[in-house]
């Protein structure tokens, strides 16, 4: 990007063209996000301040950000944030980026928690904390224990929690599945929720776009041969963690969620097993209710 004076409009137009040539599928949206992050303007303010020149610091930041995006780095890592439902999550390399489709999983969780007084939730694989923090924000009185095996994810989820002033509501624990959860709490949870790694290894290696495969953590993506390795471990955990009548809510792949539902039914102990579609009408969310009151 040239170093002479550039206005908001000139920077926006140049960035759109550059990212389009680099193969960005949504170059204008990317350009808007990058410009907002560099200047502190909202998207509306970008279009009402076309004549405003960028400061040298803003231009330098924009130059760096555009170069990173042009190399294929996910937009959320470049800008450092991602809106999710009613909150904004800080994002950084090494931690899975929240997806809009996961908001449907949260919808199912909120339905399951409706009418429960002071519900207790266990989330496995919290990542940025987007699910746990959304539930704590949208369902007052909820207490959440959120775990992740990744130290980087635990640190980021903790910062996101503290930024939302939810330290007294959400506990973030570094551990494998629920190994670090106090034994006394097992069997007391009204909801077990997870967005586990669910992409089959071969699909991750050969079919997933480079923007995902080359930048996001494989630990949060690779679900083994059929994508259900971690799901099976969660299915073993559920009867131990959940109360009778409680719910397990999982996001899986459209290619394996029906298989997972069948495994639930074969396991027994579930009074209801349901698969729901995501925002693009693909089957992705598994909801299962334990037998009992």
Identify the H or E element spanning 46.
helix 43-48
268 φ/ψ angles, rounded to the nearest 5 degrees: 80, 170
> Which sequence spans correspond to the domains of the chain?
8-72, 94-290
pLDDT digits (tens, 9 = 90+) for 241-262: 999 999 999 999 999 999 999 9
Q: Residue 1: pLDDT above 90? A: no
Sign of CA dihedral 176, 179, 185, 189: positive
* CB atoms inside a 10 Å sphere around CB 262: 11
Q: Looking at the domain 94-290, which fold is it? A: Rossmann fold (3.40.50)
Q: Cα separations (Å) of 104 from 56, 62, 88, 273, 283? A: 42, 33, 17, 16, 11
Report the distance separating Cα 141 and Cα 85, nearest Å: 19
What is the tens place of the pLDDT at every residue in 60-86? 999 999 999 999 999 999 999 999 999
pTM above 0.85, yes or no: yes
Residue 25 CB burial class (10 angstroms; 0-12, 13-18, ≥19): exposed
pLDDT tens string 168-215 = 999 999 999 999 999 999 999 999 999 999 999 999 999 999 989 999
The two tokens of residue 96 are 């899975």
């Amino acid at each position: 990007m040239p170093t002479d004076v550039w206005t908001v409009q000139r920077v926006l137009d140049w960035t759109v063209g550059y990212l389009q040539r680099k193969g960005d599928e949504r170059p204008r949206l990317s350009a808007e996000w990058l410009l907002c992050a560099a200047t502190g303007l909202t998207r509306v303010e970008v279009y009402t301040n076309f004549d405003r020149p960028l400061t040298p610091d803003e231009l330098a930041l924009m130059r760096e950000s555009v170069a990173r995006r042009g190399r294929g780095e996910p937009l959320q890592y470049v800008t450092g944030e991602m809106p999710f439902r009613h909150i904004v999550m800080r994002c950084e390399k090494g931690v899975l980026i929240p997806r809009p489709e996961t908001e449907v999983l949260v919808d199912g969780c909120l339905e399951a928690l409706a009418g429960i007084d002071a519900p207790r939730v266990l989330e496995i694989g919290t990542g940025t904390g987007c699910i746990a923090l959304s539930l704590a924000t949208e369902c007052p009185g909820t207490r959440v224990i959120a775990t992740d095996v990744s130290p980087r994810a635990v640190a980021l989820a903790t910062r996101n929690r503290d930024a939302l002033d939810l330290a007294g509501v959400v506990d973030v624990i570094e551990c494998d599945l629920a190994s670090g959860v106090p034994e006394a709490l097992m069997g007391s949870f009204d909801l077990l929720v997870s967005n586990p790694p669910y992409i089959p290894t071969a699909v991750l290696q050969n079919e997933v776009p480079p923007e995902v495969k080359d930048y996001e953590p494989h630990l949060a993506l690779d679900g083994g041969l059929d994508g259900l390795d971690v799901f099976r471990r969660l299915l073993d955990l559920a009867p131990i963690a959940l109360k009778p009548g409680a719910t397990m809510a999982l996001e899986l792949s459209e290619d394996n969620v029906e298989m997972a539902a069948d495994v639930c039914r074969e396991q027994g102990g579930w009074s209801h097993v349901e698969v729901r579609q995501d925002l693009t009408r693909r089957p992705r969310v598994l909801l299962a209710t334990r037998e009992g009151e």
